[in-house]
Amino acid sequence: DLVIISDEIYRDLVFDPAPAMASPVDFAPERTVVTTALSKSLALGGWRAGVARLPDGPLGATLHGLLLGIGSEIWSATAGPIQQAAALAFNEPPELAERVSHSRALHAAVSRAVAARFAAAGVSVPEPQAAFYLYPDFAPWREHLAGRHGVTTGAGLAAHLLNQYGMGVLPASVFGEEESVLRMRVATGLLYGDTDAQREAALSAADPISLPWIASGLARIEEVLADLAR
């Protein structure tokens, strides 16, 4: 009787599409709800349009009624222009599919380059597999951070990185981990450029890492980590 909710908002941003990513709906369609939205694959963070695919049958009908009942007390309707954009996007026309493909390649290249900088500095970081976030762990630096910088918590490290170097990250504690955990959520999106022209150039570049503004951002990460390690 367990209902599965599978949030697949990052599905289109998995770097290696082979083998195809399995979804719970492939194995238990009668009790799986799949959710997604436009904000990640199309970078439409402010366009609040999400969807939920409900299972066929009595369970889906019950959930549909409950969702409508709750939703009617929370929101009225998605704005008209966003509805039109969502209808276009969810039909997946070739030009949007191509853009998502370019986005996926850009995320992969930059995320892997950032991860390589953290790894080279001795920070533990899982290999990026999707999207535009990393989760480096400064645990190998724990004694050094405490003795040299007085940092003993994830929040303390995040504050130090921001105040000392202007590097904005989120500590693991905001995602439910213990305060003592030194993992950080690092987003790569700001490296793509400061202007629309730079971001479009990054999106279409065969080698985005070689673009001057991205290379400069990566060099800055190296500088910050080197200084933090002193």
The upper half-sphere exposure of residue 86, i.e. CA atoms within 13 Å in the direction of its Cβ, equals 17
Res 17 pLDDT > 80:
no
Instruction: List every span in the chain annotated with CATH 3.40.640.10.
Output: 4-91
Element containing residue 130 per DSSP (H, E): none
Split at pLDDT 50, 70, 90, the class of 133 is very high
pLDDT per residue over 110-132, tens digit each? 999 999 999 999 999 999 999 99
**Residue 202: Cβ within 10 Å count:** 21
Query: What is the overall mean pLDDT for the chain?
Result: 95
The mean pLDDT value for 186-210 works out to 97
Lowest mean pLDDT across 12-16, 150-154, 197-201: 12-16
Q: How far is CA 16 from CA 72, 135, 206, in A?
A: 39, 19, 17
Instruction: Give CA–CA dist 29/7, Å, rounded.
Output: 14
Give the pLDDT of residue 94: 97
Give the pLDDT of residue 86: 93
Res 177 pLDDT > 80:
yes
Split at pLDDT 50, 70, 90, the class of 151 is very high
Give the pLDDT of residue 93: 97
Q: How far apart are the first and last CA of the chain?
A: 55
Give the pLDDT of residue 49: 87
The most confident of the ranges 15-24, 73-82, 221-230 is 221-230
Lowest mean pLDDT across 14-28, 31-45, 124-138, 145-159: 14-28
CB 176 within 8 A of CB 185: no
Looking at the chain, the whole-number percentage of residues with pLDDT higher than 70 is 100
Instruction: Give CA–CA dist 60/31, Å, rounded.
Output: 8
CB 138 within 8 A of CB 160: no
Give the pLDDT of residue 48: 82
Split at pLDDT 50, 70, 90, the class of 230 is very high
pLDDT per residue over 37-73, tens digit each? 999 999 888 888 889 999 999 999 999 999 999 999 9
**Domain 95-228 adopts which CATH fold?**
Aspartate Aminotransferase, domain 1 (3.90.1150)
Class of domain 4-91: alpha beta
How buried is 125 (Cβ within 10 angstroms: 0-12 exposed, 13-18 middle, 19+ buried)?
buried
Token pair of 67 as six digits: 């969702």
